[in-house]
Amino acid sequence: MRTGRSELVRLAHGGGGLLTRELVGQVFLKHLGNPVLDRLEDAAVLPGRLALTTDAFVVSPPFFPGGDIGRLAVCGTVNDLAMVGARPLALTASFILEEGLPLADLERAVASMAAAAREAGVTVVAGDTKVVERGGADGLFVTTAGVGLVPEGIALGTDRIRPGDRVIVSGPVGDHGIAVLSRRPGLEFDTPVVSDCRPLNGLVAHLFARLAQGVGTSAIRFLRDPTRGGLATVLTEAAEGASVDIVLDEEEIPVRPEVRGAAEVLGLDPLYLANEGKLVAVCAPEGVEEVLAALRECPEGREARAIGRVEEGRGNVILRTAFGGRKILDLLPGEQLPRIC
């Protein structure tokens, strides 16, 4: 009978949930751990206020409603930098191409990358290309690194989160997850949902600029973009990192009706679906109104909502249901799977 660690990497290890965490702890941190890496933040902030991040993009299918792997690569990297408060400066991009990939597809992805980079105000300053034999990669993989500068006075992290703080999301969740699934072979369905993939550095810069004139930038404790694993996963990591409980009001969490519907058809929970153009912010209670106002002034944050609060606790995310019930949102073992039961 199987017990203990799996001997093979499973798809679930990439799901962003419990098994990913296990893999990171038992393999990566075990050998590579250091005070900066151990913080496991979206980007590392080094002496000199330099922010550095890296990311890999393996999305399948590579072209989906509302985006593609090229756009995703730029936005994902820029957003990682923005989440530690950094102003993104430049990106590198390395491509792993599978033998047989149509050049037209590659060019389409790269052109999209360029457009996204212009939108975010960054440049790709270094790159690399490798080609592997047919079967060695799923069409096209992209790995990036991003570098940015964190302005003076900005220091974000779970260590700043306090009971009484409030939780805000910049808009409806689950769009990207559904958009990608809608094109997956075996699950294809026709939905108006498109990915929300977009750069958030403009939104973050505006937020800090506004706060600087009001309640102060220190009102923002923590930022993160809820990518794989979704809102529930990202908030669980925050709650655990800060040793607090986060209580969310189910009725306040914005989800588009089409996303809710598609998720229901497949038996999935929108709170665990990926987002590529949203952020979650934990802020001081006295800053809530200003934060919401600032976010709503930008198109990327027009539908921002306050969805919960931080309480004394031990690292749980608790959802208050429409009936006043409370239930814990756990980390999932791996990716969510469509179900019929």
**Which tokens go with 253?**
């969490």
Give the separation between CA 223 and CA 229, rounded to whole angstroms.
Answer: 16
Give the nearest distance from C-beta 272 to another protein in angstroms.
11
Q: Around Cβ 29, how many Cβ atoms within 10 Å?
A: 14
- Residues of this chain that bind another protein (CB under 8 A): 1-3, 6, 8-12, 17-19, 22, 182, 185-187, 189-193, 251, 257-258, 260-262, 264-267, 316, 318, 321-330, 332-334, 337-341
Give the nearest distance from C-beta 137 to another protein in angstroms.
16
Using DSSP, state whether 141 is helix, strand or coil.
strand
The strand pairing partners of 318, in sequence order, are 247, 328
Amino acid at 193: V
Using DSSP, state whether 3 is helix, strand or coil.
coil
Q: Say what the alpha-carbon torsion angle 103, 106, 107, 109 is, to the nearest 10 degrees.
A: 160
Give the nearest distance from C-beta 239 to another protein in angstroms.
12
Give the nearest distance from C-beta 154 to another protein in angstroms.
34
Give the nearest distance from C-beta 65 to another protein in angstroms.
12
- Closer residue to another protein in complex, CB, 136/192: 192
Give the nearest distance from C-beta 10 to another protein in angstroms.
5
- Closer residue to another protein in complex, CB, 59/329: 329
Give the separation between CA 20 and CA 35, rounded to whole angstroms.
Answer: 20
- Closer residue to another protein in complex, CB, 201/236: 236
Q: How many residues does the chain have?
A: 341
Question: Could you give the C-alpha distances from 237 to 16, 34, 57, 122, 216, in angstroms and in order?
Answer: 11, 19, 22, 29, 26
- Closer residue to another protein in complex, CB, 28/189: 189
- Write the DSSP assignment of 262-298 as a string of letters: HHHHHT--GGGS--SS--EEEE-GGGHHHHHHHHHTS
- Closer residue to another protein in complex, CB, 48/323: 323
- Closer residue to another protein in complex, CB, 9/46: 9
